[in-house]
Amino acid sequence: MVWLRSSHACSMGSDPIEWTHCSPADEAIVFGTLRAGDVDECVRRAKNAFPAWAARSFEQRWECLCACREALENGREALAQLITQETGKPIFEARLEMGAVIAKFDFTHADGVRYILEEAITDGPHAAQTRWRARGTAAVIAPFNFPIHLGHGATIAHLLAGNTVVFKPSPLASHVGLAYAEMMQANLPGDVFQSVLGWGEVGRALCLHADVRSVCFTGSIPVGRSLAQALAPDYSKSLALELGGKNSLIVCEDADIPLAARATADGLCLTAGQRCNATARVLVHARVEAGFLRELEHELARYTPGNPSLETTALGPLISSASRVRYQELLATTPGEPIFAGSEVARLATGEAGFYVTPAVLRAGDVAALDASAFALRESFVPILVVETFDRHDEAVARHEAWDFGLSASIFTASDENFHRLGDRLHVGNLYKNLPTTFSPSTLPFGGWGRSGNGHPGSRGFIRFCCEEQAVQRRS
């Protein structure tokens, strides 16, 4: 059981909304009671802190963030353990997440130097420059699957740009969020970084607050669409949406089949399929389907459900009982023939009763029925994969484009010509050759097209969306 101080989070007054939740890895472990926060109070504090923070130089703000980096570096193992305990993410993945969190500082600093420092303009009629001004208070809504990393990238970009931040972690990872917030706040001026807890109504109130000038939301398509519609009248507010995907891995006839199978298994099973860039479908050339499936069966053997705290576990539990129900419903309703039948695992061999399932692979049947199914129309966030075959590259492109998502796609081929012939026609923000759909390093931008988001990158370059450009000219 993990208990954390929460005095640094804005709390409500009378009759607060409270909740508890259990460990997804062992339902017998119940985490401490959490209390929904006061959005108005958090935003008020952050707004009042903004002028002094924005007035600091880029270098002074960076100095504060370096102190935050040191604190997170010192606490990285404790935070990784807490991620595993609260979300069920295997410990090896949680440690990788913390490594990405630490690395994000230097990437963001490099982006700041590249994009938002003042630039002299020498080819105009007067002495001039362009400069970037901080917007004000930013709302950052973080998901449970990367409870620190995804919100952290937006947070430090906003802070370095001169904005103040109100951070809302997922209610399913609030203890992790509070621990992260405590380390950040200890190394920043008072009220520059606020945290607020709660469920959807709290997040919506934060995003729609009139004094919030930027919103970074990672979550579902229905919520993202609702936010975009509600914020449309306030068109000066910056909105960055990362809304998930139904990502395809395309296996050409000349592909390295063992490599493609391994990437498919990884993309399907990492974080128990609870990644926005998880592999949801494979489009495989008919001539190599049989060999691909044989290799995939071998690779999936690496993903046996286990206690996520163990170093050897590759497949942890789903986050909640609701996710397990969604897994069962999708297995029952997705058109197709089971190739590798998935199932719920009621209890591990060691006795833990958590939200464990096994990966499932289906061979597509009626394409029209599949395209109209819940599996095709929404992000599933469970380890279920559909396999389709194609004979011509045009068929693979058409089938990929039939699903109106645009986050990630991977093409496995030995030929650069094949890669470009296919890839140049795919509507995705992240396109890879011979790599898993989940391989999205912080060295690159990361953003979705179509239903997957509004294209604002959540990694490299995000700092551009934290500021407003100002043109300055002077007559001598």
**What domain count does the chain have?**
2
Tokens of 57: 């130089």
Number of other residues whose CB lies within 10 A of the CB of residue 273: 26
What is the SS3 assignment for 82? helix
In terms of domains, do 157 and 266 share one? Answer: no
CATH of the domain at 226: 3.40.605.10
| Paired strand residues for 168 | 141
104: nearest Cα among 163, 64, 152, 165: 152
Residues 195 and 123 in one domain: yes
Q: Which residues are tagged catalytic?
A: 242, 276
* Alpha carbon distance 254, 346 (integer Å): 41
Closest to 146 in 3D by CA, of 120, 173, 119: 173
Is 169 found in the same domain as 97?
A: yes
Q: Does residue 449 sit within a domain? A: no
Same domain, 61 and 165: yes
30: helix, strand or coil: strand
| Neighbour tally for 353: CB within 10 Å | 14
Cα–chain-centroid distance for residue 21? 22
**Residue 50 region by backbone torsions, left for phi larger than 0, else alpha for psi between -120 and 50, else beta:** alpha
Rounded-to-10 torsion of CA 431, 435, 441, 443? -60
Q: Chain-centre distance of CA 364, in angstroms?
A: 28
Residue 410 resides in a domain: yes
Indicate if 233 and 366 belong to the same structural domain.
no
| 137 within 8 A of 50, measured Cβ to Cβ | yes
Question: Residue 197: which of 164, 227, 165, 170 has the closest Cα?
Answer: 170
Q: Are residues 164 and 272 in the same domain?
A: no
Check: CB of residue 371 under 8 Å from CB of residue 403: yes
Residues 126 and 271 in one domain: no
Q: Crossing angle of helices 200-208/221-231, nearest 10°? A: 30
Give pLDDT tens digits along the chain (476 positions).
Answer: 333 333 346 755 445 678 887 899 988 887 878 888 999 999 999 999 999 999 999 999 999 999 999 999 999 999 999 999 999 999 999 999 999 999 999 999 999 999 998 989 899 899 999 999 999 999 999 999 999 999 999 999 999 999 999 999 999 999 999 999 999 999 999 999 999 999 999 999 999 999 999 999 999 999 999 999 999 999 999 999 999 899 999 999 999 999 999 999 999 999 999 999 999 999 999 999 999 999 999 999 999 999 999 999 999 999 999 999 999 999 999 999 999 999 999 889 888 899 999 999 999 989 999 999 999 999 999 999 999 999 999 999 999 999 999 999 999 999 999 999 999 999 999 999 999 999 999 999 999 999 999 987 788 999 999 999 999 999 87
In a domain, 3, yes or no: no
Tokens of 381: 């966030």
Residue 49 structural domain: 18-243+455-474
What is the CATH number for 342?
3.40.309.10
Dihedral of alpha carbons 85, 86, 88, 94, sign: negative
Helix, strand, or coil (residue 59): helix
7 inside domain: no
What is the SS3 assignment for 9? strand
Does pTM surpass 0.75?
yes
> Is residue 62 in a domain?
yes
Do 142 and 184 reside in the same domain of the chain?
yes
Query: 84 and 22, same structural domain?
Result: yes
- Taking residue 417's Cβ as centre, other Cβ atoms within 10 Å add up to 9
459 in a domain, yes or no?
yes
Cβ neighbour number for residue 191 with a 10 Å cutoff: 20
> What is the torsional sign of CA 341, 344, 350, 351?
negative
Q: 466, 214 in Cβ contact below 8 A? A: yes
Residues 329 and 271 reside in one and the same domain: yes
Classify residue 13: in a domain, yes or no: no
Whether residue 2 lies inside any domain: the answer is no
Q: Are residues 239 and 252 in the same domain?
A: no
Does one domain contain both 91 and 192?
yes
